[in-house]
Structure 1
Amino acid sequence: MVQAEKKLFVLDTNVLLHEPLAIYSFDEHDVVVPMTVLEELDQIKDRKKDVSRDARIAIRALEDAVGDASPEQLLAGVQLTGVESESPAGSLAIFPDHEVEFEQRVPLPGNNNDNDIINSALYLQETRPDTEVVLVTKDINMRIKAKGAGLRHVEDYRSDQLVDDVRYLAKGFAQLDGELWLRVGEVESHQHGRFTEHTLARQQLGEEPLYLNQYLIDEGEDFCAQVKAVDEHTVTLKDLGRDRLMGYHAWGISPKNIYQGMAMQALMDPNIDLVILTGPAGSGKTLLALAAALEQVVEQRRYDRVIVTRNTPEIAESIGFLPGTEEEKMMPWLAAVTDTLEVLHKHDESPSSSLQYIMDKANIQFKSVNFMRGRSIQNSFVLLDECQNLTPSQVKTILTRMGEGSKLVCSGNLAQIDSNYLTAVTSGLTYLVERFKMFDGSANVYLNGVVRSRLASFAEENL
């Protein structure tokens, strides 16, 4: 087998902030980190922001990689070790971009960090004509500038990207053509508890990709099922029925459409540990999750408490300046949840008293994502709101906190990403949907349609 020609990847600062261990993601190819990138990381690491943690991790990763290498070795490239890959490891070099002097071109103007990094890549392209030099950056404008300046190879960082287009992201349900039972052949049915399960040939469901706990609906008025087992030849469906799904109740809330019915079934199923709710603003993600949480904590006593948390880019900087306890500091960012609590109790004789009573009865706790690390959360219903703003590594940190008897609900809208370092395809929410779609303890539902109001529905469709 012919070994692929080595490439030289020049990393921008935002790549290391997005994935602090990105230096290990390029297999046998060589990685160059310009000095300007180190200076930016140094400036960011002391900021009271979420990205400061990632900057510190990136700096430590670079320190571990270079070890006790001499200045000459550092410029030439230090062999990377400890990479979990069958491919031979590449090298890491620190490039003194402030010393660049072009012979054949005029560099981009100085006193601009982006320009200095682009100039580094241009210089390497000029001085190493036999090597493919690639600038890797998550900054769209920087990619355009680099190409305009004459850099032949510019890429986004996508090693943690599992889908190329968010339109192809798994929605958690599939719409079958026609009426299923009118066109299938042999079916083997058996009773499983309160439900009937059907096993049929995989080919009878067409070419639609199937995965565990995926919901299936057809064009009829009655059929709705959930995939419980699937292989190359057969698929086993749990017969739910639309009427059963639409008949769910949780804390006075009933589904308004079949998509909410699927979500409610997943939220109330004790065998599902992770529920992922995606969809547009106003589709009912937070309302359904909170109603299911209260029902199972207060009425069914299945869990001991409700923990509500979310991530915001500015939270680490701003939370310290707000008065009160951690929960009181979190309230401005969790207004969507408290608004939802008010909606659930707006018809009570004394809504404010009911609200405080329920918060105490359900032991509702508001926590910052920043303080979730190192904890083990037991017997809790955890609602992670707005998680489209989380990176894949942050999502992993939170999921690994979940202890025995806990259920995690992740909700978000990929159209409302606030982070400068994330897109819909690189969001932790997208990563979560794709990684867990074959896990039998998770369910994913895209809530199709806005039910908040006709104004919100029109705005979602036309703005």
Structure 2
Amino acid sequence: MGNEDRKFFILDTNILLHDPLAIYAFKEHNVVIPMTVLEELDRIKDRQKEVSRDARIVIRSLEDIFKDASPEAISQGVPLYTDNTEKSGRIAIFTDHHQPISQEFFTEDEPDNRIINSALYLQQVKERTQVILVTKDINMRLKAKGAGLHYVEDYRKDQLIDDIQLLSKGFRCLNGSFWDQVEDCESDTQGRDTFHHLDANLIEGTYCNEYILDETKQFAAKVISEQAGVLRLQDLGRDKLMSCSAWGVQPKNIYQAMAIDALLDPDIELVILTGPAGCGKTLLAMATALELVIEQGIYDKVIVTRNTPEIAESIGFLPGTEEDKMMPWLAAITDTLEVLHKNDECPNGSLDYIMEKANIQFKSVNFMRGRSIQNSFVLLDECQNLTASQLKTIITRCGEGTKIVCSGNLAQIDSNYLTPVTSGLTYIVERFKAFEGSANVYLNGVVRSRLASFAEENL
């Protein structure tokens, strides 16, 4: 694997499990797969978990690349792309070595140690090129740096943002008064709605269905489109926005008001709700679901789903039907329904009636693949623990006349393999923000209770 200008990227097993096609992410540079990685993939491929599927995909991809290569070519490196151009990267399988340079640091007992030793050996042999170990294991990165490896990196191809603070909130607050900053504006009225047309340079970087607020607490609008340098806003008005309601639930702050507006809009097919615990994500989603299904009759049923924790990935050990088995993980939904009807004369009777009238169904994420959901209101709760591929699987199930709401708190990620910047929730916020059929709202502020608000801020 010649050409000293090309870097050597040594991939850890967790990189390939995180992204089975990661070998193609390094462009013209060289990719090295240690033999230890193949051994770990072989042990993982037969496990009864989602990760085993990724391991099999990696093994098949490597077999397709090396199937016609000789043993010498496999160790020296073969082109990653069939065109075999000079810009094509190369990939090689590296037989792990026990080198004296790394013997004083690590024994060969652990797979991570053997991979680090391989990187240290290549760093010594390839003095004129950069040898980079790529791993998502933070402790392994620390060990490699401590052992003297010059370049150790995380895998960032799937990170659309560098810092979670840069994640779009779905709205922006302008300094001062909005109208004091507008020099030229044309307005028109269509029915009850008023639209403003102004220079797009006034508010740069806007996207469809983004909400615009100002410090006067009077102006509120939503971006409809931007064409030929002209920004089209729908004037909502703060008072009008705060007066909207769904199933008797009225917003407690402007953020909940924006969420209800997006949830009730029939032209918005995907609504993403993010925010801290207690900000009202699930309550608002369920209230609008009941409003749209029972009162307005826009949808036929409500489907509620979420991922089950990894410690109990299979729901087969619980008795009953699929919905019965999902009840422990969907207690937040039943709690919300109880809150919405706690003042009824017969809360239990109201709850049973609403469950039947709205045709509320509890489904497991594990069984969503292959389905086609038509004319339904889908609530995907706690989706901060889902990967981008899992969310893609669920969102692509939605057919004609279906609205899906994804909610989650990026501060409550339970998965060992996800961080706030790699979560599927972050991924869809960034990928869908320019889609005219989606809206994203960050619900700022905890309204559950004074105790919950203090805990969110101080714990």
The normalised TM-score by structure 1 is: 0.93
Matched, 1:5 2:5: yes
Counterpart position of 1:216: 212
- Between the aligned partners of 1:363 and 1:71, the Cα distance in structure 2 is 60
Report the 3-state secondary structure (helix = DSSP H, G, I; strand = E; otherwise coil) of the residue aligned with 2:92. strand
User: What does 1:8-19 align with in structure 2 at a 5 Å threshold?
Assistant: 8-19=8-19
User: What does 1:158-197 align with in structure 2 at a 5 Å threshold?
Assistant: 158-197=156-195
**Contact 2:378/2:403, CA 8 A, preserved across alignment:** yes
- Which runs of 5 or more residues in structure 1 are unaligned? none
- Between the aligned partners of 2:372 and 2:190, the Cα distance in structure 1 is 34
Matched, 1:237 2:236: no
1:302-329 deviation line (CA, Å, top 9, x unaligned) = 1111111112451773312222222222
Deviation of the 1:104 alpha carbon = 7.1
User: What does 1:122-133 align with in structure 2 at a 5 Å threshold?
Assistant: 122-133=120-131
- Between the aligned partners of 2:167 and 2:240, the Cα distance in structure 1 is 27
- Between the aligned partners of 1:79 and 1:100, the Cα distance in structure 2 is 27
Counterpart position of 1:79: 79
The normalised TM-score by structure 2 is: 0.94
User: What does 1:294-309 align with in structure 2 at a 5 Å threshold?
Assistant: 294-309=290-305
Relative to structure 2, which stretch is displaced further, 34-43 or 74-83?
A: 74-83
- Between the aligned partners of 1:211 and 1:253, the Cα distance in structure 2 is 28
- Between the aligned partners of 1:390 and 1:441, the Cα distance in structure 2 is 22
Report the 3-state secondary structure (helix = DSSP H, G, I; strand = E; otherwise coil) of the residue aligned with 1:198. strand
2:265 counterpart letter in structure 1: D
Relative to structure 2, which stretch is displaced further, 313-322 or 449-458?
A: 313-322
C-alpha spacing 1:336/1:61, structure 2 compared with 1 (3 Å): farther
Identity over aligned pairs, percent = 68
- Between the aligned partners of 1:286 and 1:4, the Cα distance in structure 2 is 55
Counterpart position of 1:320: 316
- Between the aligned partners of 1:253 and 1:4, the Cα distance in structure 2 is 65
2:246 to 250, 259, 280: 250
Deviation of the 1:379 alpha carbon = 0.9
Report the 3-state secondary structure (helix = DSSP H, G, I; strand = E; otherwise coil) of the residue aligned with 1:189. strand
Report the 3-state secondary structure (helix = DSSP H, G, I; strand = E; otherwise coil) of the residue aligned with 1:51. helix
2:344 counterpart letter in structure 1: D
Counterpart position of 2:88: 89
Counterpart position of 2:198: 200
**Contact 1:188/1:200, CA 8 A, preserved across alignment:** yes
Matched, 1:268 2:264: yes
- Between the aligned partners of 1:78 and 1:279, the Cα distance in structure 2 is 47
- Between the aligned partners of 1:331 and 1:270, the Cα distance in structure 2 is 29
Report the 3-state secondary structure (helix = DSSP H, G, I; strand = E; otherwise coil) of the residue aligned with 2:394. helix
1:142 to 116, 140, 143: 140
Relative to structure 2, which stretch is displaced further, 211-220 or 306-315?
A: 306-315
C-alpha spacing 1:30/1:268, structure 2 compared with 1 (3 Å): same
Report the 3-state secondary structure (helix = DSSP H, G, I; strand = E; otherwise coil) of the residue aligned with 1:32. strand
1:406 to 398, 402, 407: 402
**Contact 2:372/2:397, CA 8 A, preserved across alignment:** yes
Counterpart position of 1:156: 154
Matched, 1:31 2:31: yes
**Contact 2:383/2:424, CA 8 A, preserved across alignment:** yes
Report the 3-state secondary structure (helix = DSSP H, G, I; strand = E; otherwise coil) of the residue aligned with 1:17. helix
Report the 3-state secondary structure (helix = DSSP H, G, I; strand = E; otherwise coil) of the residue aligned with 2:316. helix
Counterpart position of 1:40: 40
- Between the aligned partners of 2:101 and 2:280, the Cα distance in structure 1 is 61
- Between the aligned partners of 1:376 and 1:456, the Cα distance in structure 2 is 39
**Contact 2:207/2:434, CA 8 A, preserved across alignment:** yes
Counterpart position of 2:458: 462
1:385-421 deviation line (CA, Å, top 9, x unaligned) = 1111122222222222221111111111111111111
The total of aligned residue pairs comes to 457
Report the 3-state secondary structure (helix = DSSP H, G, I; strand = E; otherwise coil) of the residue aligned with 2:187. strand
C-alpha spacing 1:61/1:332, structure 2 compared with 1 (3 Å): farther
Report the 3-state secondary structure (helix = DSSP H, G, I; strand = E; otherwise coil) of the residue aligned with 2:313. helix
Deviation of the 1:157 alpha carbon = 0.4
2:346 to 333, 346, 350: 350
1:169-191 deviation line (CA, Å, top 9, x unaligned) = 11000101112123422210011
C-alpha spacing 1:236/1:64, structure 2 compared with 1 (3 Å): same
Report the 3-state secondary structure (helix = DSSP H, G, I; strand = E; otherwise coil) of the residue aligned with 1:308. strand
C-alpha spacing 1:166/1:87, structure 2 compared with 1 (3 Å): farther
1:92 counterpart letter in structure 2: I
**Contact 2:4/2:128, CA 8 A, preserved across alignment:** no
2:111 to 106, 110, 113: 113
Cα RMSD over matched residues? 2.2
**Contact 1:202/1:233, CA 8 A, preserved across alignment:** yes
2:187 counterpart letter in structure 1: S
1:231-270 deviation line (CA, Å, top 9, x unaligned) = 5732111001112211122112111100000000000000
Matched, 1:382 2:378: yes
- Between the aligned partners of 1:411 and 1:8, the Cα distance in structure 2 is 40
- Between the aligned partners of 1:380 and 1:61, the Cα distance in structure 2 is 38
**Contact 2:102/2:117, CA 8 A, preserved across alignment:** no
Deviation of the 1:87 alpha carbon = 8.8
1:95 counterpart letter in structure 2: F
Counterpart position of 1:396: 392
**Contact 1:276/1:445, CA 8 A, preserved across alignment:** yes
Counterpart position of 1:50: 50
Counterpart position of 2:65: 65
1:38 counterpart letter in structure 2: L
